[in-house]
Structure 1
Amino acid sequence: MVRRPTTSTWTQNLEMPSRLLDSGDSDYELYEEEGEFVLTIDLPGFETDEIDLMWDDGVLNVAAEHVDDDHGRKKTYHRRFRFPKIVADDEITAAYTNGVLEVTLPTAGPATRGREIPLEGE
């Protein structure tokens, strides 16, 4: 998997990538740098035509399926990623090289808006 340097609060305002999710031992890494999100996912053993990417209303859906007829096995992968900023969906690009999928999602605006949820209790 492509590993990026871990940032801390000491390096947040420097010209370094900002990690969005600390995926630890996960099969993916998501970070933001220079006006775009970059998502890398380890998908070894799949062919390019076995991987499907779909953008739908702020959510990236990644699905892959590989059938090994010789061994009677089926390998599947499915994840959904929601982004905290508006993405220029017509400028999203993706590449699959050496078992690693890299998706670049340029941002097109400020953080998405939500509404505050009141918290009850003491």
Structure 2
Amino acid sequence: MVRASTPSTWLQGLDIPSQLFGTTGGSDYELYEEDDEFVLTIDMPGFETDEIALAWDDGMLNVAADHTDENRGRKKTYHRRFRFPKTVDDEGIAAEYTNGVLEVRLPTADSTAQGTEIPLEG
């Protein structure tokens, strides 16, 4: 599981209650590798499926959502980017939104290239 790091050291000496900053992200998602794929789950309650947009661009998954509650006059937004290794099979990415939880599965691609070989002398 990958979580956001704790607040930086410059905040620690300010004696500001941590609830002002929350957990600086990370508490609403879980990312892990399972078998031959990455699995990302994000808690996104209150959104409808058609309000969520997912885009994959060169190793970056962009998740954005907008919801307007007409009765309360409130707008709820979510936006986060996740960077993955370029070994993700972008044509095999699948996503599902159920009961307020978005699950994105990103299968890893077979990568035989390990970069450019560097000769070792000695």
Amino acid at match of 1:29: E
Aligned to 2:98: 97
Distance 1:113 1:85 in 2: 12
In the superposition, the TM-score normalised over structure 2's length comes to 0.71
The normalised TM-score by structure 1 is 0.71
Q: Which residue of 1 aligns with 2:12?
A: none
Pair 31,85 (structure 1): closer, same or farther in 2 beyond 3 Å: farther
| Cα shift at 1:33 | 1.0
Q: CA 1:113–1:39 in structure 2 vs 1: closer, same or farther (change >3 Å)?
A: farther
Identify if the C-alpha distance between structure 1 residues 113 and 72 changes in structure 2 by more than 3 Å, giving closer, same or farther.
Answer: farther
Structure ranking higher in strand proportion = 1
Preserved contact between residue 85 and residue 109 of structure 1 (Cα < 8 Å):
no
Bigger Cα Rg: 2
Instruction: Supply the AA of the counterpart residue of 1:97.
Output: T
Post-superposition, which runs of at least 4 consecutive aligned residues in structure 1 deviate over 6 A?
Answer: none
Percent of aligned pairs with the same amino acid: 70
Q: What is the SS of the residue equivalent to 1:87?
A: coil
Structure 2, unaligned runs of 5 or more = 5-22, 116-122
> Which residue number corresponds to residue 67 of structure 2?
66
Equivalent residue, structure 1, for 2:3 = 22
Residues 43-122 of structure 1 mapped to structure 2, 5 A cutoff: 43-110=44-111
Work out the number of aligned pairs and report it: 95
CA deviation after TM superposition for structure 1 residue 22, in Å: 3.0
Q: Sort the Cα spacing of 1:113 and 1:101 in 2 relative to 1 into closer, same or farther, 3 A.
A: farther
Alignment correspondent of 2:120: none
Q: Which one-letter code corresponds to 1:22 in the other structure? A: R
